[in-house]
A and B are shown apart, each in its own frame.
Chain A
Amino acid sequence: MIFATVMFWAVALALVASSLAVVLTPNLFHAVLYLAAALVATAVVFLLLDAAFLFAVQLLLYAGGIVTVMVFAIMLTERLTGQRLTQTNRHVVNGAVMSFAVFVGVAGFIMRSNATAAAPASADRTLDIARAIVGPFAVTFELLGVLLVAALLGAVYFARTED
C-alpha cells in the first residue's frame, strides 16, 4: 500500500510538472518533448489503476505515434518558413483566472461528492476488454474503423500537393 501511495504521488508530480512545461515553454519543439513525458506519466497512472493493456496502448499510440507525427509537422512547418517556431502566450492572466475557476468548480464538485468507494480486488481485464470490443461494442468498433479511414483520406487530401 505504501509503495502504491508513493508511486501515485511521484507520478502525479511528474505529470503535473510536465503538463505545465507543455503549456509554458516558449520553444514548440521542447513542448512536444514535454508532452511525450506527460503521456508516459499518464501511462504509468494507467498501470497504477491495473489497466496494463491501456498502458501498452498509450505508450504505442500516444507516446510513439502522436509525438512522432507532431515532430514531423513541426519540422515541416519550420522548413517552410525557414525560421524557428518559438511562440509566446497571450492573455496569460485571463487564461490563468479562467482555468483556475474551472479547476475550483470541478474540484469542489469532486470533494462534495464523497466518492469514498474502496477499490475492489484488482484483476487483469485484458481478456474482458477483448470480449467487449467484439461483443456489446462491436458496432462502435466498426464505426471507429470507418472514422480512421475517413480521417486518413482527409489528412491525405489536405496535405497533398497541387499537381
Chain B
Amino acid sequence: MAAPGLSAYLILAALVFTIGLFGVLTRRNAIGILLGIELMLNAVNINLVAFARFEADLAGLVFTLFVIAITVAEVGVGLAIVIAIFRVRRTVDADHLNLLRG
C-alpha cells in the first residue's frame, strides 16, 4: 500500500470544500453560514500545505499562515455584524435579512 500522494490530499480538500459549500447554500442561520465558510477556507489551507509539501515550495506554508490570520479577522468582523444585526432585527435568519433588497 503506497503512501497517500498529492491527489489524495487534493480530493480530501475538495470533499471538505464542497461540504462547506453545501452548508453555505442550505443553512438559514447567519452563524451557520459562517461555519460553512470556515470549512471552505480550511479545505483551501489543506490544498496549500499539500502543494508546499509535494512541490517543496515554501510559499504555500507562508500563504497558509496569511489565510489563517485573515480568517481570524473575517470571523471577528462577521460575528460582530451578526450581533449588531441581532440587536436591531432580533433574528439572524438569513431569509429575513432583506434590508438592502432593492
Which A residues have a C-beta under 8 Å from some C-beta of B?
A: 1-2, 4-5, 8-9, 12, 15-16, 19-20, 22-23, 28, 31-32, 35, 38-39, 42, 45-46, 49-51, 53-54, 57-58, 61-62, 65-66, 69-70, 73-74, 76-77, 80-81, 85, 87-92, 94-96, 98-100, 102-103, 106-107, 110-111, 113, 115-120, 122, 125, 128-129, 132-133, 137, 140, 144, 147-148, 150-152, 154-159
Contact = CB atoms under 8 A, between A and B. Distances in A.
Those 4 A-B pairs whose CB atoms lie nearest each other, nearest first: A23-B23, A151-B73, A158-B80, A95-B25
Contact of B35 (A31, A92, A155): A31
A70 B49 contact: no
B53 A119 contact: yes
A2 B1 contact: yes
B81 to A, nearest CB: 6
Q: What is the predominant secondary structure among interface residues of chain A facing chain B?
A: helix
B69 interface: yes
B84 A89 contact: no
B102 interface: no
Contacts of A73: 31, 79, 82-83
B20 A23 contact: yes
A51 B52 contact: yes
A65 B79 contact: no
B75 A90 contact: no
B2 A62 contact: no
A28 B29 contact: yes
A117 B83 CA distance: 47
Contacts of A32: 35
A90 B96 CA distance: 13
Given A89-B28, A148-B73, A12 B12 contact: yes
Interface string B60-87: 0110111011111111110111111011
B58 interface: yes
A15 B34 CA distance: 18
A126 B20 CA distance: 30
A110 B12 contact: no
Contact of A1 (B2, B76, B77, B79): B2
